[in-house]
Structure 1
Amino acid sequence: MFYLEETNINTSALQSNLCNERAGGYVSFEGWVRNHNHGKEVTKLEYEAYTPLAVKEAAKILQEAQQKFSILEAHCVHRVGSLKIGEVAVWVGVNSVHRGPAFDACEYIIDELKVRVPIWKKEHYLDGDSGWVKCEHCHEKKV
């Protein structure tokens, strides 16, 4: 399950949706809006998405994770619109029989989401400037 959300993400409710008696592990990731990036002070973010393609591609990523890592379920929600510092921009939750696959699948989902799904981030800075941000460090080879 993937969807775009225009209001605050309720992570507690999302976690409860993944309760499953077969699951022995649950892993989640929350991406928060931070107050800095590349040496500049950030005041807020804006996210825009091409919704039909974003939903379709994210669903593919969740399905891939389920097949690759033998997880039970994976859900993901991404905010769109204007976000304040400290708000949750993206949430990923995964349950599985054992913890290892849940960790691996959660990381896979957020990494793939950042490079494949048409969601764009604009940062607004304290100095009044703003700019669209590209995820240039995604898919760097892990050491």
Structure 2
Amino acid sequence: MIEITQSPIDSAQVLAAVQSTAAGAAVLFLGTTREFTHGKQTVRLAYEAYEPMALAELKKLAEKASSQWQLTAVAIVHRVGEVGLGEASVAIAVSSPHRDAAFAAGKWIIDTLKQDVPIWKQEHWSDGTTEWQHPGASDGSRS
């Protein structure tokens, strides 16, 4: 399951897409809209993507992760359009026979996605200003 959607992400469906009796571990990561970033209050986020290229890049991430780690399945769903506080903008699920591979692959996928995939995030702040975040630009959210 590799998708870009305008609808709210169904995390249970994303997790179900990777579950298998061959997997001893399934890891689900949700990237959600937080209220404060660097002391500024967020009202909402808006995402735009060049969908054909973004989908191709997401598929490459899933394939590369599967070649680097012993994975059973990978699912990546990214939302475009407006995303409210607490809502998921991205869901990544990875399953593997063992947990170490699932955790490592999931972390690598989200870190690489934020760097390489042509999906742009616009922060809408409570003071009425906005700010675009581009792939490859650090928004300070990684830790």
TM > 0.5? yes
The Cα shift of 1:50 comes to 0.3
For residue 22 of structure 1, what is the aligned residue in structure 2? Answer: 22
Where in structure 1 do 4 or more consecutive aligned residues deviate above 2 Å? none
Corresponding pairs, count? 140
The Cα shift of 1:72 comes to 1.0
Q: How far does the alpha carbon of each residue in 1:67-115 deviate from its partner, in whole angstroms, 9 at most, with x for none?
A: 0011111110001001110100100000001111000100011011001
Output aligned runs, 1:1-143, within 5 Å.
1-134=1-134, 135-136=137-138
Report the secondary structure of 2:65's partner residue: helix
Report the secondary structure of 1:128's partner residue: coil
- Identity rate, percent: 36
Q: Distance in 2 between matches of 1:83 and 1:137?
A: 17
Q: Distance in 2 between matches of 1:43 and 1:70?
A: 40
The Cα shift of 1:137 comes to 6.0
Q: Which runs of 5+ in 2 are unaligned?
A: none
Compute the TM-score of the two structures, normalised by the length of structure 1. 0.93
Compute the TM-score of the two structures, normalised by the length of structure 2. 0.93
Q: Distance in 1 between matches of 2:24 and 2:98?
A: 5
Q: Distance in 1 between matches of 2:17 and 2:60?
A: 20
Range with greater deviation from structure 2 (101-110 or 15-24) = 15-24
Q: How far does the alpha carbon of each residue in 1:11-52 deviate from its partner, in whole angstroms, 9 at most, with x for none?
A: 012211222111101111000001111221110000000001
Q: Distance in 1 between matches of 2:5 and 2:91?
A: 11
Q: Distance in 1 between matches of 2:47 and 2:84?
A: 11
Q: Distance in 2 between matches of 1:104 and 1:95?
A: 11
Q: Distance in 1 between matches of 2:60 and 2:46?
A: 25
